[in-house]
Amino acid sequence: MKPPFQQALGIIRQLNRHGYEAYFVGGAVRDLLLGRPIGDVDIATSALPDEVMAIFPKTIDVGSKHGTVVIVHEGTAYEVTTFRTDGDYEDHRRPESVTFVRSLEEDLKRRDFTMNAIAMDEHGTIIDPFGGQEAIEKRLIRTVGEADARFREDALRMMRAVRFVSQLGFSLAIDTKKAIIANAPLLAHISVERMTMEMEKLLAGPFAAEALPLLAETGLSTYLPGLAEKGEWLRRAAAYRWPWLAAREERWALLCHALGVKESRPFLRAWKLPNKVIDEAGAILATLAAVPEPAAWTNEQLFLAGLKRALSVEVVRAALTGKPYEPQHDELRRRFAALPIKTKGELAVNGKVVIDWIGKPAGPWVKETLDAIWRAVVNGEVENEKERIYAWLMERSRTQEKNC
Ligand code: ATP
Ligand code: MG
């Protein structure tokens, strides 16, 4: 058995020893069958949450009402969820109540897609009552049971389907796709936060260029923040190199650019992203507009952007144009390393020193003077040494007086 499963095997065996059934389930089993890197290993069991907590010394009750207990085993946290069926769905969202059941098959039946409804026991034997392996072989995303009903129960599953397209490069089964088209308006019942989580996974997937047009094709985009009128743009977004981007800020910046969003702030706010992400994506876009080509970076722009943002700008530009970003990255790294200072804090003088030198009361002139100083230092006009800066400043005042 592969390492992540091997490490969790103790939990399965312990539950078995106490007379309960226990299996690996969900994404980890799917990824194992696909030969993909395996993420979180989830376990499903016939034991009730209280029974699970009674067996293991280190547990965290993260949602025992819904059947989920976290077991800390050899330093790793595992989600162990009691076999359950979902109660009535209200408003096309996850049900408030769940019913615990003792049968694995019933538990697998409530899962979204056949590829996610496969279990594996302690010997590595696969239990696959809904044809998940066949779907994986055919690279198809297919709902467990009737697609229409499953999307009416929980509309988020439609977004999950398209984000799996992006993550796995699979296609939507015909019935599944038809049902998404028919039920797309139900997405309006889903909270923005949950849609954003799926969208972020979609943008980060290796096949985002295929998934983005699919949002338009299925009509889901009509119900996503700021995307209602962007169908054509989403189709064109297929041309960009999404997988080149490494950070979420870069992905949101590229999305804004790709969609022709004029003001990124309200668009990103509608997705309820953290301010840090909104600010950084906005700064990347502003810098991209200010530096029209890789060769156009001035020292001042590079200094103000900082190396990290400058690299982001070039990778976003590369994703747009399809030209490799490595040469620009190398060049920016070299130029940034050559800057005499990397931050304003490294300047040899500060406001207090400047006030002492000039002998005028503090005012807006202090910031203006400091700005002139860092610019001169960054451009190599003066060395970053107190005496040199003093001399440069005196010379500058003399010239300014002469010009007045
Ligand atoms: P990832 O690799 O992104 O974690 P995953 O398949 O593990 O993918 P999770 O969101 O972690 O996805 O969910 C774990 C499992 O729970 C899924 O594989 C699926 O069986 C089930 N599941 C998750 N969300 C839903 C849902 N909305 N409806 C039905 N089943 C779901
Ligand atoms: Mg998972």
Q: What is the pLDDT of residues 241-268, one digit of tens each?
A: 999 999 999 999 999 999 999 999 999 9
pLDDT above 80 for 65? yes
Out of 112, 191, 201, mutate this one to test ligand 1's pocket (max ligand atoms within 8 Å of CB): namely 112
- Return the closest-CA partner of residue 284 out of 330, 250, 251, 320: 250
Q: What confidence score (pLDDT) does residue 178 get?
A: 98
Q: How far apart are CA 378 and CA 384, in angstroms?
A: 9
Q: How far apart are CA 44 and CA 55, in angstroms?
A: 15
Q: Whose CA is nearest to atom 4 of ligand 1?
A: 27
pLDDT above 90 for 397? no
Q: Which is the closest atom of ligand 1 to the Cα of 156?
A: 27
Q: Which is the closest atom of ligand 1 to the Cα of 26?
A: 18
Q: What confidence score (pLDDT) does residue 329 get?
A: 96
φ and ψ at residue 51, rounded to 5 degrees: -70, -40
Q: Please give the structure tokens belonging to residue 228.
A: 């209602």
Distance 300 CA to ligand 1 centre (A): 47
User: Does this model's pTM top 0.85?
Assistant: yes
Q: Ligand 1: does its nearest atom lie under 6 Å from the Cβ of 112?
A: yes
β 119-120/98-100 pair status:
unpaired
**pLDDT digits over 76-112, tens only?**
999 999 999 987 778 888 777 889 998 999 999 999 9
**281, 268 Cβ separation under 8 angstroms:** yes
**pLDDT digits over 265-317, tens only?**
999 999 999 999 999 999 999 999 999 999 999 999 999 999 999 999 999 99
* Residue carrying structure tokens 């005028």: 360
The mean predicted confidence, pLDDT, of the chain is: 96
Cβ neighbours around 341 below 10 Å, total: 14
Q: Which is the closest atom of ligand 1 to the Cα of 157?
A: 27
Q: Ligand 1: does its nearest atom lie under 6 Å from the Cβ of 27?
A: yes
Q: Which residues contact 21 (CB under 8 A, 6 or more apart)?
A: 15, 45, 46, 83, 102, 104
Residue % of the chain over a pLDDT of 70:
100
**pLDDT digits over 13-64, tens only?**
999 999 999 999 999 999 999 999 998 999 999 999 999 999 999 999 998 8
What is the rounded radius of gyration, in angstroms, for the C-alpha atoms of the chain?
Answer: 28
pLDDT above 80 for 404? no
Q: Which residues contact 107 (CB under 8 A, 6 or more apart)?
A: 25, 44, 83, 84, 85, 101
Cβ neighbours around 50 below 10 Å, total: 12
**pLDDT digits over 114-170, tens only?**
999 999 999 999 999 999 999 999 999 999 999 999 999 999 999 999 999 999 999
